[in-house]
Amino acid sequence: MDKNKKILVVGAGGFIGGHLVKKLLANGNQIVCCDIKPKEYWFQDFDETENHYAMDMKDILNCRKVSNGVNYVFNMACNMGGMGFIENNKAECMQSVLINTNLLIACNEYKIEKYFFSSSACAYNIDKQQQPFIEGLKEDDAYPANPEDGYGWEKLFSERMCRHFMEDCGIQVRIARYHNIYGPYGTYDGGREKAPAALCRKIIQAKKENAESIDVWGDGEQTRTFLFIDECIEGTLKLFESDYSEPMNIGSDEQVSINQMIDIIREIAEIEKLNKNYQLDKPKGVRGRSSNNELIKKVLNWSYQMSLKEGLTKTYKWIENEMSQKGLNLSKYTKS
């Protein structure tokens, strides 16, 4: 990554954004951070960065304020969470198009050198994700367009907005479609957590309380691929440094069912047996999703290295330590 650049990270208080800022600082850059969350809700906070807390980037005046004078912009901001949040807050998710649009306008006004947009595998056509253990989704599988309602449409629309600003205004854009990024310093409770963190939390709770079962959304046969956060950041910067301007998958192709992931975490927790209480009325998302990584291997000569079990081990230990340090009342998580 280039050194001695002034870089704006929008959504810096979030999970991926916080890890990105840490890496960019290590590379010797000057970082401007902003997030709609107040300071106390940032996952990672760094004294050596210029921090803008509780800043709503849906307001174009705020976008202009923080974009002036920077070289690069990373847009990591969106209103999202796990499947429960996405399926029940479609209008809120859609409003993130304002962040991307206003940032692009500001970038054009201030002649920003390069712009990164964090998209999602939710942009893919849902008709191609109706069975478990599907073939990996290639980048052109997003069309004909039929993404997940709300959040998926916001991502696909914003991808197109990036493309047209590049075509009409000359802004160099980079677009990553993330596939289920997980790891330490992320949400593991409260309703916005994703499957790996939620399941780690539930199994930690079950172990502590000697419970015989955990609640599982759906029948556990839905499949996904999951990429550890450190490798997500590495792939992101590889893409950003490249000359490739079309959307690109950044994810793992180690596809597992939710049931299989539960068994992996159960082994990490050293629990011999754990029953699953399937909740068929809960949000489940698409039936199967996997990342095809042919393009990133060809264009960037890059691939992830960490197995799911290794990444889940790191995540489990971090969540376990967090819950222990905070002295959380584990019983409050029973139904979430």
Q: What is the pLDDT of residues 42-90, one digit of tens each?
A: 999 999 999 999 999 999 999 999 999 999 999 999 877 666 777 888 9
* SS3 per residue for 38-61: CHHHCCCCCCCCEEECCCCCCCHH
Contacts of 260 (CB under 8 A, 6+ apart): none
Q: Are strands 227-228 and 181-182 parallel, antiparallel or unpaired?
A: parallel
Structure tokens at 66: 């923080």
* 132 and 197 both lie in a single domain: no
Same domain, yes or no, for 161 and 50?
yes
Residue-level pLDDT at 331: 39
* Whether 24 and 113 share a structural domain: yes
* Domain range for 281: 183-225+254-290+306-333
Residues 145 and 187 in one domain: no
Domain check: are 238 and 274 in the same one? no
CATH number at residue 326: 3.90.25.10
Number of domains in the chain: 2
136-190 pLDDT, tens digit per residue, is 999 999 999 999 999 999 999 999 999 999 999 999 999 999 999 999 999 999 8
63 three-state secondary structure: helix
Give residue 335's pLDDT: 33
Mean per-residue pLDDT of the chain: 94
Q: What percent of the chain has pLDDT over 90?
A: 87
Q: Which of 9-23, 39-53, 316-330 has the lowest mean pLDDT?
A: 316-330
CB-side neighbour CA atoms (13 Å) of 245:
15
Q: Decide if 236 contacts 165 (C-beta within 8 A).
A: no
What is the CATH classification number for the domain harbouring 58? 3.40.50.720
Please identify every residue annotated as catalytic.
151
Domain presence at residue 40: yes
Same domain assignment for residues 88 and 194: no
- Same domain? For 323 and 211 the reply is yes
